[in-house]
C-alpha cells in the first residue's frame, strides 16, 4: 500500500481515507474518513490493489500529502515529482509582487514539509 501512498497517515483516522484526497472533488479530512468507512467497511470493498494491481499512485508534489494541500494521481509506473524549495539570493524589497508570491509559496511548502517531518518523528517515537 505504501507504493500507492507513502505519506504519513494519522493513526486516529481511517487508514484508507487518503484514497479520496484530490480525487476529482474536494473533501475535508472528516469527509474523506466518512467515505473510507462507507466504502471499505460498510460496503465491504477491498483496499486498493486487492482486485488487480493499481494503475495510479498519489504524488503529493512536494507537500506532506494532506487533503488540503496540492496533490495529483499519476500513472503507477511514473516517478513522483521531486521538489526542492529554495529562496532566491535577492533583496526582498527589490522583488516584484510575483517573485514575493513565489517566495511565500516556497516558504509555505517548506513549513509543511517540516511539520510532516515533526509528525513523522512523533509517530516513530510513540
Nearest to 41 by CA among 65, 17, 22: 17
> Per residue in 52-85, pLDDT tens?
787 788 888 877 787 888 888 899 899 988 776 6
- pLDDT at 111 (0 to 100): 79
> What stretches of the chain adopt beta strand conformation (E)?
56-59, 72-75
- pLDDT at 77 (0 to 100): 92
Measured between alpha carbons, how far is 58 from 41 in angstroms, rounded to an integer? 22
pTM (2 d.p.): 0.51
Domain extents in the chain: 1-82, 84-126
Measured between alpha carbons, how far is 43 from 90 in angstroms, rounded to an integer? 56
> What stretches of 43-93 adopt beta strand conformation (E)?
56-59, 72-75
Amino acid at each position: 500500500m505504501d507504493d500507492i501512498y507513502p505519506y504519513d497517515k494519522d493513526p486516529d483516522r481511517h487508514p484508507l481515507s487518503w484514497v479520496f484526497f484530490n480525487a476529482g472533488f474536494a473533501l475535508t479530512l472528516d469527509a474523506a474518513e466518512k467515505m473510507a468507512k462507507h466504502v471499505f467497511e460498510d460496503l465491504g470493498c477491498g483496499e486498493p490493489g486487492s482486485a488487480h494491481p493499481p494503475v495510479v499512485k498519489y504524488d503529493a508534489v512536494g507537500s506532506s500529502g494532506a487533503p488540503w494541500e496540492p496533490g495529483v494521481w499519476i500513472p503507477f509506473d511514473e516517478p513522483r515529482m521531486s521538489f526542492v524549495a529554495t529562496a532566491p539570493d535577492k533583496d526582498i524589497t527589490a522583488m516584484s509582487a510575483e517573485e514575493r508570491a513565489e517566495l511565500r509559496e516556497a516558504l509555505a511548502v517548506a513549513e509543511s514539509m517540516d511539520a510532516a517531518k515533526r509528525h513523522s518523528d512523533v509517530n516513530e517515537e510513540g
